[in-house]
Amino acid sequence: MSRTPFRFAEGTAVVTGAAGGMGEHVARLLAGRGSDLVLVDRDGDRLDTLAAQIRAAHPGLSVTAETVDLAERDAVDALASRILAGHPEIRLLVNNAGVALGGDFARLTLDEFDWVMDVNFHAPVRLTHALLPALTARPGAHVVNVSSLFGLIAPPGQSAYCSSKFALRGFSEALRAELAQVGATVTTVHPGGIRTGIATSARVGVNIPAEEAEQGKRDFEKLLTFPADRAAGLIVEAIEKRRPRLLIGASAKIPDALARLAPANSLKLFAKLVGASGRRTTAGAR
């Protein structure tokens, strides 16, 4: 595995979920370090505003905005084709986009479950697979997959979200071992309670009562204390140092330690940590 620091100014960085939260701050930091950018999000208005701001601040960079719904597999494939056609020197892929869905498994529909898996897992896999030849054309490329606290522990009410984030974690660990053979590196990121909109904008299963859904969101808002710009700074630092794993915030580090040291009781202790003991979780942590 290459231990040479990642060189940001040597090519294009692709960032999904770039219109807000950690993705937006990562994009701004990458631009400051000289990366050309392909920014991807489903919120076209916010994405275009961000792209215009970065172009104004860094006129020497190439900045492309791609409005794409990553839940649509054909759209992901078409996005990859456009990226390869317009940006042959891809050096960094940041799979940051994610969605959350609350509700216990028995009351979720399979369409709801599949929507989470499509955005959080299948889209990163498809995009990585399509861009891999460009990323590995020469040594030194890097891939970042943003998993979650819920890629480390699995509380009730989060079957879809945990499935997607545990899957992304496993994919990342296998990919890391494979890419080490060709001089590329992978970072898996596990954010805890980051101050973004993922919890408040989380979907709730159609069969979940509104009062229960709102209570779950309020419970998890208590976790959202770590600033998104600081989280982005840690991610960019992890990219530069090619760290294999990054846990962000005590709300990720403490449950990770509990899961390792006391796996049978870790969820009870986690519930006490967020003040939601005995209730099912209906919002996501990021």
**Active-site residues: which are they?**
161
Cβ–Cβ < 8 Å for 36, 87 = yes
Q: How far apart are CA 27 and CA 232, in angstroms?
A: 9
